[in-house]
Each structure stands twice: as structure tokens, then as C-alpha cells.
């Protein structure tokens, strides 16, 4: 089973989910006889989001790359970013990463295509919704991607940045997010909504979403599990 290296901290709540789920699922895949080796390099959330907000992408890429190199030096054989927003510099990082670098956008695009969706909505931070680093892979798969109105984009971003990043889930905020999804369903005919921030599943899930709910964290974690499981099977 290959050692997994995670770039975490953006935010801490989702990093905890990655760690727990990878351990649980890979232990099950190993018949309860092994746990994966996992290393985490935790970024300063405020610094990382500040660099994104100021569009200092070269500086952000350098900041993340230093941590990726730490993971590689520590023996990590698979690398992943645990936040969608940090994928704004994925293309800058990929040529410099020596180990398999598992992308959230690519994993989500493959999943949505396999499901046969034609129109999907996208929620996330303001950067995720207004930039194309997540949606590009999905549109390249022939799927239309819709985002909320400008006012609703700001609402979604604020609920993520001021509440969900800290593990705070308010029922009134959950209702607001569901209302935004319903608007996209009525106005754009979306068949599913992509939860394009790894904290959004704290508030939204298949039981309360008015359309199919695509949890990018779940999809990404399962992709990492599949890679590690394939390694286990190949070595038998």
C-alpha cells in the first residue's frame, strides 16, 4: 500500500475527514489487517486564501510546492491537495511534482461523465465559482456548468469562509444554500450540483439537496482509495 501525502489545512475540517476516511476505507480494503501510511503538510489557511484573493498565484504555487517537496522527502508516493480552491495553481504544480498527483477536477469530471449528466451546478468559494480551474475539466467532458447569480455567489462564499471553514453549521445557512440550488434547478435545469468546496458537505448532502449532490471530497477520497487499493491488488 503506497504512502499518501496530503496538503491540508485549507480548511482543517475537511483535512480531518480525508484522514479518517482514508484510514477507514483502506483498512477495510486490506481486510482489516493494515492501515495506510499518511503524511499531512498543513498550510496556513489565512495565508493561502490571502494569496488566492490577491491573485498571487506564483507565490501560492511556491508555498504549496515547498510542502509537496516535504511530503516527497518523507516518502509519500501519492500526493493530493485537500481543497478545491488550491487547485487554482494545480497546472503550475503538476510538472514539478515527482509522484502521482491526484486532481479533484479530473476525478469529478470523470465521475460526472460516467453518470451521464448534461447540466450541473457548481457551488464553492467565490474563486472556485468564478474561475475555471474546477469547471474546465467538466466542460471539457461535454457537460454544461452553471454557477449562481453574483449575489448568491457572494452568499455561498461567505457561508463557507465565515462558518463552514470553522465547522460551524447553521440551519438558516443550510436553508439558504438549498434555496440557491433550487434557483439553479429552476433557471438552468441542472440535474446535479457539485459541492466544489470540501467544507460544503458539512451542510449539504444527498438527503437535503433538491438535485443529485456531488461531493468532491467523497469523489476525491474514493479516487485515492482506488489508487491505493490497485497497488495492494497488484502486489498480491
What is the distance, to the nearest Å, from the Cα of residue 28 to the centroid of all Cα atoms in its chain? Answer: 23
The span from the CA of 131 to the CA of 57, in Å, is 13
Residue 21's pLDDT band, with cuts at 50, 70 and 90, is very high
The span from the CA of 56 to the CA of 200, in Å, is 25
Q: What is the pLDDT of residues 187-226, one digit of tens each?
A: 999 999 999 988 898 999 999 999 999 999 999 999 999 9
SS3 25: helix
Contacts by 71-77, CB closer than 8 A, 24 or more apart: 71/5, 71/6, 71/7, 71/39, 71/41, 72/5, 72/97, 72/98, 72/99, 74/5, 74/39, 75/3, 75/37, 75/39, 76/3, 76/4, 76/5, 76/39, 77/2, 77/3, 77/4, 77/5
Average pLDDT of the segment spanning 75-79: 96
86: nearest Cα among 118, 109, 64: 64
Predicted local distance difference test score (pLDDT) of residue 109: 96
Q: What is the pLDDT of residues 91-112, one digit of tens each?
A: 999 999 999 999 999 999 999 9
SS3 4: strand
Predicted local distance difference test score (pLDDT) of residue 84: 87
48: nearest Cα among 81, 73, 1: 81
> 43 with 62: CB under 8 angstroms?
no
> Strand locations in the chain, DSSP E?
4-8, 38-42, 78-81, 101-102, 119-123, 144-146, 192-195, 212-215
Predicted local distance difference test score (pLDDT) of residue 228: 86
Rounded to the nearest 5 percent, the helix, strand and coil shares of the chain are: 55, 15, 30
Residue 234's pLDDT band, with cuts at 50, 70 and 90, is very low
7: nearest Cα among 58, 101, 77, 82: 82
Predicted local distance difference test score (pLDDT) of residue 13: 83
Predicted local distance difference test score (pLDDT) of residue 180: 98
The region that residue 32 occupies, defined by phi over 0 for left and psi between -120 and 50 for alpha, beta otherwise, is left
- Is pLDDT at 4 greater than 80 in this prediction? yes
Grid coordinates standing for 21?
476516511
Average pLDDT of the segment spanning 76-81: 96
Q: What is the pLDDT of residues 157-177, one digit of tens each?
A: 999 999 998 889 999 999 999
Average pLDDT of the segment spanning 35-59: 95
Alpha-carbon separation of residue 197 from 31, 187, 200, 211 (angstroms): 32, 22, 6, 17
Amino acid at each position: 500500500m503506497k504512502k499518501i501525502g496530503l496538503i491540508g489545512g485549507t480548511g482543517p475540517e475537511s483535512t480531518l475527514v480525508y484522514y479518517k476516511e482514508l484510514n477507514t476505507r483502506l483498512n477495510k480494503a486490506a481486510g482489516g489487517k493494515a492501515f495506510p501510511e499518511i503524511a499531512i503538510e498543513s498550510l496556513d489557511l489565512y495565508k493561502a486564501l490571502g494569496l488566492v484573493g490577491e491573485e498571487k498565484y506564483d507565490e501560492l504555487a511556491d508555498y504549496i510546492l515547498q510542502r509537496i517537496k516535504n511530503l516527497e522527502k518523507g516518502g509519500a508516493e501519492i500526493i493530493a491537495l485537500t481543497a478545491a480552491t488550491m487547485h487554482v495553481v494545480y497546472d503550475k504544480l503538476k510538472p514539478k511534482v515527482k509522484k502521482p498527483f491526484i486532481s479533484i477536477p479530473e476525478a469529478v469530471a470523470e465521475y460526472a461523465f460516467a453518470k451521464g449528466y448534461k447540466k450541473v451546478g457548481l457551488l464553492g468559494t467565490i474563486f472556485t465559482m468564478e474561475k475555471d480551474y474546477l469547471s474546465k475539466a467538466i466542460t471539457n467532458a461535454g457537460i454544461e456548468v452553471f454557477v449562481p447569480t453574483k449575489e448568491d455567489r457572494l452568499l455561498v462564499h461567505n457561508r463557507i469562509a465565515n462558518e463552514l471553514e470553522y465547522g460551524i453549521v447553521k440551519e438558516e445557512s443550510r436553508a439558504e444554500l438549498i434555496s440557491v440550488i433550487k434557483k439553479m434547478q429552476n433557471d438552468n435545469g441542472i440535474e446535479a450540483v457539485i459541492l466544489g468546496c470540501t467544507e460544503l458537505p458539512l451542510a449539504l448532502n444527498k438527503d437535503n439537496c433538491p438535485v443529485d449532490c456531488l461531493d468532491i471530497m467523497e469523489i476525491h477520497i474514493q479516487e485515492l482509495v482506488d489508487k491505493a487499493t490497485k497497488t495492494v491488488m497488484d502486489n498480491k
